[in-house]
Structure 1
């Protein structure tokens, strides 16, 4: 049984001994963080959900081969999520093929308001990802782990397999460059908005 004092490493050891409930506790602890990380990578709730399931399915399959070097399993899980997101097409195909062999779940009601909110979230995230995509990949990964996923420098270094000092320098550079990109993007948006307003303005038409 999971207790508040159990570390992820202790739960992982129990899972390696075949205790599915221990692995379920790990899922409950970290599924939201993994899902949020993947949503920020894909800008798609559906893909993020499927990839999250793929991350934990992979973790269960190779659990006996994994040695956690920290009390938290989250850095390792996010490292797996990062790799699956980078190869999301193949990862999703494998997961969806497996899911197709399982019994279909009971249908659930579709709430239009929830669907609309999720689409708005996806559009907003897609816009943010376009700005973040201008960063070099190595800087973008550190930003995603430290700022979006809340890992400290040491945990991010473990997820990426680099030194802590490297994480710090990349994060500083990413923040500086992203601030510049946002300012440039806002200026461009303002210019486009002003131009559109001029085209619609009756004063402009009369003056011409």
Structure 2
């Protein structure tokens, strides 16, 4: 099997060869974009990603055998113009989680209400991260890229990736602990009121 760098090298003389790169990575790129900005944007940004990659194929570092980080880096940069849509999408995820089926039992309703609250909190926490921290976190969590691959994708040092990922995790963890502490206090207050 040929590597991505070999496909890109071939595409410099035979542009049609670039189609192989599209077939290899379109699904991953589309899924990543859809998770970040919604399916209504995914087709457009994916197409734009591969167009930019094709136009910049002469700049691809052929020492890298996998073009996935490069493609996801291009997609991440293009998504910057869709930041507002991404924020609305995360907000809508929280709203969608609020919808409940009327046919569930009381146990299911309580369970669903807890899940709704969790999804809303997570979406709001992710939305509150800086753009750079959110990019690193989502490339790691949703695109399953390693620290080195994220560094390649965003053209930043690996140390910066580690710092951003650590900071994002710390913020999310602190927010979760704060929420858990408030819920425990609220639960104790409810128990005391019932006693």
The verdict on how the C-alpha distance between 1:47 and 1:18 changes in structure 2, with shifts beyond 3 A counting, is: same
Q: Name the structure 2 match of 1:11.
A: 7
Unaligned runs of 5+ in 2: 84-91, 98-118, 188-195
Ranges in structure 1 where 5+ consecutive residues have no aligned partner: 90-118, 195-208
Partner of 2:154: 160
Q: Which residue of 2 aligns with 1:139?
A: 133
In the TM superposition, what are the counterparts of 1:1-208 in structure 2 within 5 Å?
5-20=1-16, 22-42=17-37, 44-88=38-82, 123=96, 127=120, 128-184=122-178
CA offsets, 1:57-80, max 9 Å, x none? 222233234334411111111111
Partner of 1:133: helix, strand, or coil?
A: helix
Contact 2:148 2:158 in 1 (8 A): yes
Distance 1:14-1:122 versus aligned 2 partners, 3 A rule:
farther
From the superposition, tell whether residues 62 and 133 of structure 1 become closer, same or farther in structure 2 (CA, over 3 Å). Answer: same
**Which residue matches 1:99?**
none
**Could you tell me whether the CA contact under 8 Å between 1:154 and 1:164 is conserved in 2?**
yes
- Report if the CA contact (8 A) 2:93-2:123 is conserved: no
State the shift of 1:19 in Å: 4.3
Deviations 1:40-71 (A, max 9, x none): 321x2020121111111222233234334411
Higher helix share: 2
After superposition, the Cα gap between the structure-2 partners of 1:51 and 1:178, relative to the gap in structure 1 and judged at 3 Å, is same
Once the two structures are TM-superposed, the CA of residue 178 in structure 1 deviates from its matched residue by 1.4
Contact 1:51–1:88 (8 Å) recurs in 2:
no
Q: How many correspondences in the alignment?
A: 159
CA pair 122-53 structure 1, distance change in 2 beyond 3 A = farther
- Tell me if structure 1 keeps the 8 A contact 2:9–2:62: no
Q: Distance between the aligned counterparts of 1:33 and 1:48, measured in 2?
A: 11
Q: Distance in 1 between matches of 2:59 and 2:40?
A: 29
CA shift for structure 1 position 12? 0.7
TM (norm. structure 2) is 0.67
**Separation in 2, partners of 1:122, 1:46:** 17
